[in-house]
Amino acid sequence: MKKVIAQTELDSIVEILSKNQDKNFIQRILKPDNFPTIPLSKGKVGTHLMADSEIDGMYIAYPTIVFIDGKLKHLSNDEAIDYAINSGEFVEFPTDTAAAWFAKNYKKYWNDG
């Protein structure tokens, strides 16, 4: 059974995705069928996973699965942070709570949170 989420939550997610659709990891969230998958735990596959962190006073959400040379690669958290900062593949938020909320809830875009 699918979870029902508040429309305001969905609106917030859609707004964040829309404002950042130039980023590869956002494109993978918006159109996962256009990208290869990578094996995850419990027999599942995915095109992305998200994390959040504070870097030099900046609160960001960023992918730990990245798309490099036409392939997906699952990075350690430290590698993913370095990749995000160096590539611009992150979304900045005003607070740590907002970054953590997005990293946890972005999958609600598909309404299956």
Domain ranges of the chain: 7-108
Which whole number is the average pLDDT over 21-38? 92
For residue 111, give every residue at least 6 positions away whose Cβ sits within 8 Å of its Cβ, in sequence order, or none.
2, 3, 4, 5, 10
pLDDT tier, 4 (very low <50, low <70, confident <90, very high otherwise): very low
User: What is the pLDDT of the chain when averaged over all its residues?
Assistant: 89
Given this model, what pLDDT does residue 60 score?
98
Q: What pTM value is reported for the model? A: 0.86
Q: What is the mean pLDDT of residues 35-62?
A: 92
